[in-house]
Amino acid sequence: MKHMPDFRAYAPTASADAAEIRLAPEESHHLVTVNRCGRGDPVTAFDGRGREWLTECADPSKSATLLRVKATRTAQPRAFDITLGQALPKGATMDDIVRQATEIGAARIVPLLSERTQVHLDGDRADKKIEKWRTGAIEAAKQCGNPWLPEITPIVTFAEFLRWASVSTPTPVAAVESGDHPYDLRLIASLHAGTTTLKKALATYAAKHGHAPRRVLWLVGPEGDFSPAEMTAALTAGCVPVTLGPLVLRSDTAAVYALSILNHELQNP
């Protein structure tokens, strides 16, 4: 495992050629008060879009920490793009899913309202939830050293997202590269008959196209799975039904399990 500095800080507005970076109050508080960063300590600042600044803490102010930039580096562009479409589970499970998806390297997380979703959020509560998930993603990125933050979209219905995921041009919710459609391969976790495995789905795509998919969608249902009508709609939209084995997995386990396999297989096609 490569050595990493003890401290990381999120600096989304820092300029590429910055000589100094002044952190926002909340980020300053977390770095100095919570993590106890002091003057002269090395800090890696990152913008969540692949750029990092190797810095030294010049002024450990609890409200406006100043970092002095020593070097800048840009991560290699991601060779693949995985979107997790996750039907909202009960309780705080989504918090854990967001953190683990960030650690694994998902590019995008789309919170979904499905027929069997038991969580119902109005506008204000939904905005607060999304902000909480984005904060959790930042913390996860700091802990694991990921220079890329996943996009966390507004909450949408499953039916609405399926329409967006199968059209010919990208949309604000599925903002990926232009192409024949937003995703090269669309997969949905299924407990029904007629499924394939993740490995076979990837192999079938590679055999047909001569290369591994670069933009993959992974859909996971809530407790109780997607309804039969939703599953039919997903298949009609071109999703491939995938089994994750003989056991019935919790929605958070299914999300992390499949993202881990996809990440490994796409890194080593």
Q: Provide the pLDDT for residue 148.
A: 95
Q: Provide the pLDDT for residue 170.
A: 42
Residues 241-265 have a mean pLDDT of 87
**At residue 197, what is the residue type?**
T
- Greater confidence, 173 or 123? 123
Q: Is 238 left (phi over 0), alpha (psi -120 to 50) or beta?
A: left
Taking a C-beta distance cutoff of 8 angstroms, is the pair 41, 56 a contact?
yes
Q: Which residue has the tokens 């789905």?
A: 201
Whole-model pTM? 0.87
**At residue 18, what is the residue type?**
A
Closest Cα to residue 185, out of 201, 197, 200? 201
Q: Provide the pLDDT for residue 147.
A: 95
Residues 124-135: pLDDT tens digits? 888 899 999 999
Count of alpha carbons within 13 angstroms of residue 165, beta-carbon side:
31
Residues 245-260 have a mean pLDDT of 86
CA–CA distance from 140 to each of 24, 96, 134 (Å)?
18, 10, 10
Q: Provide the pLDDT for residue 54.
A: 97
Residues 26-49 have a mean pLDDT of 96
Q: Which residue has the tokens 């939830």?
A: 129
Which 8-state DSSP code applies to residue 102?
H
Residues 63-91: pLDDT tens digits? 999 999 999 999 988 889 999 999 999 88
CA distance 266 to 81: 9
SS3 call for 132: helix
All residues at 6 or more sequence positions from 202 whose CB lies less than 8 Å from its CB, including other chains: 185, 212, 213, 262, 265, 266, 269
Return mean pLDDT, the chain: 88
Residue 169 has pLDDT above 60, yes or no: no
* Lowest-pLDDT range of 106-110, 189-193, 231-235: 189-193
pLDDT band at 178 (very low <50, low <70, confident <90, very high): very low
All residues at 6 or more sequence positions from 257 whose CB lies less than 8 Å from its CB, including other chains: 244, 249
Neighbours of 119 (CB within 10 A): 18
Residues 4-22 have a mean pLDDT of 90
Closest Cα to residue 80, out of 109, 105, 56? 105
Residues 48-77 have a mean pLDDT of 96
CA distance 103 to 101: 5
Q: Provide the pLDDT for residue 181.
A: 55
CA distance 23 to 11: 6
Q: Provide the pLDDT for residue 172.
A: 42
Residues 160-176 have a mean pLDDT of 61
Range picked from 52-56, 117-121, 155-159, 171-175 for highest mean pLDDT: 52-56
* Residue-range domains of the chain with CATH: 7-74 (2.40.240.20), 81-267 (3.40.1280.10)
